[in-house]
Homo-oligomer: A and B are copies of this chain.
Amino acid sequence: MTHLCGIFVPNIVPYDAQGRIHEEELRRIIRWLAGKGVTGFYPNGSMGEFIRLSYEERKRVLKIVVEESAGKPVLAGAAEPNVDLVLEMCRYCADLGCRAVSITGPYYYKLTQESIEAYFRELAAKSPIDIVIYNIPAFANEISVPVLKRLALDCPRVIGTKDTSRDMPRFQQVLHEIKPQRPEFSVLIGWEELLCASLFMGGDGGTLSSAGVVPEVIMKIHQDARAGDWVQAKRAQFKLLDLFSLMVNAPNFPEGFRAGYEVRGFAPGRARFPLSQGELAIMEEVRSRIACVLAECGFPEAAGSCRAASGVVPLSAAPSPADVESMVRSVMQRLSA
């Protein structure tokens, strides 16, 4: 098997007006991305709302993505509720011809690193398909670097990791602890802001949600980096920060990224979780600002959706202290006007 590297796109799932999977639109998205030259696909991750689909729906999504993947490798999310179901999904993925599965740390309960290691060891011993360990501590139990290192060195089935911790020191530590002893172990970044820095320090690529919205930009950064043209790569990286910040800070993740697909001409429908009326208004604003950034980044077709920002609707409904501050300022100014 070849070493896993390059850019994998964590796909969204489009829904129709009744909330069912909009299969045709999903196929259209995958075909479009394949045409843009992305390395591979990553269905049933956090971006793909795996946790809000039924087991059968997750299988259906996988099947569609594989069918439309044009032979590109598929890294399939397989974080099912218990060991038996994970292994059943692993077998399904193997049968479909996926390249590997990606498994998050367990979520909901807080577990010890001992138990988490035992969990992954059991999966690694029984899985018929290669495994990528997906670290996303904001949503699921963190997998510590010592545990990851032991898994990497002891388990041939564990071929890599995807790191969405946004923790650059950790990323470097993973490289430092594992690569010297197992150079083909794949260390992928899962946080757009760190794409350039992670490639520079020795990473193997990324699974980046923005690659579904602006595959052209992400693939260009990746290619420039591979070619050693760091000046270009860094310039694009800094431009990407504004777009990513809009999409990741929008209310009700992953709605912000879905708005990005909309600006690019797709019909993702609404994610599988309600928004308040206020947040629906905020999403309008987010969509417009994404369009403005895209227009500015060389996607002229987005200009039409870039309306003059009202300036009064706060962008984030999960605001940082800084956002709150800016909201308070704005209210105070309006009151004193």
A239 to chain B, nearest CB (A): 9
Q: Give residues of chain A (271-289) contacting chain B, Cβ–Cβ below 8 Å.
A: 272-279, 281
CA distance A51 to B81 in the complex (A): 6
For A186-208 the 0/1 string (1 means CB < 8 A from B) is 00000101101100111000000
Q: Give residues of chain A (68-84) contacting chain B, Cβ–Cβ below 8 Å.
A: 81-84
Number of copies: 4
Residue of B146, B147, B200, B331 near A331 (CB, 8 A) is: B331
Q: Give residues of chain A (226-269) contacting chain B, Cβ–Cβ below 8 Å.
A: 230, 234, 237-238, 241, 251-253
Q: Give residues of chain A (164-180) contacting chain B, Cβ–Cβ below 8 Å.
A: 166-169, 172-173, 175-176
- Counting CB contacts under 8 A, is A297 at the interface? no
Interface residue total, chain A, C-beta cutoff 8 A: 88
Q: Which residues of B contact A81 (CB under 8 A)?
A: 51-54
A22 to chain B, nearest CB (A): 15
B275 touches A328 (CB 8 A): no
A83 touches B274 (CB 8 A): yes
CA distance A53 to B80 in the complex (A): 10
- Counting CB contacts under 8 A, is A326 at the interface? yes
Nearest chain B residue, comparing its CB with the CB of A120:
B274
B251 touches A114 (CB 8 A): yes
B329 touches A278 (CB 8 A): yes
Q: Give residues of chain A (281-329) contacting chain B, Cβ–Cβ below 8 Å.
A: 281, 310, 312-314, 317-322, 324-329
Q: Give residues of chain A (14-36) contacting chain B, Cβ–Cβ below 8 Å.
A: 19
- Counting CB contacts under 8 A, is A144 at the interface? yes
Q: Which residues of B contact A275 (CB under 8 A)?
A: 114-115, 118
Nearest chain B residue, comparing its CB with the CB of A193:
B169
A174 to chain B, nearest CB (A): 11
Closest 3 pairs between A and B when the two form their complex, measured CB to CB: A168-B168, A118-B274, A144-B322
| 18 more CB-based (< 8 A) A-B contacts, given A110-B253, A117-B276, A118-B274 | A46-B109, A110-B138, A111-B252, A113-B321, A115-B252, A115-B279, A115-B317, A119-B273, A144-B322, A147-B325, A166-B167, A172-B237, A176-B241, A278-B329, A312-B331, A312-B335, A327-B327, A327-B328
State the A residues within 8 Å of B (CB). Answer: 19, 46, 51-55, 81-85, 106-115, 117-119, 121-122, 138-140, 144-147, 166-169, 172-173, 175-176, 191, 193-194, 196-197, 200-202, 230, 234, 237-238, 241, 251-253, 272-279, 281, 310, 312-314, 317-322, 324-332, 334-335
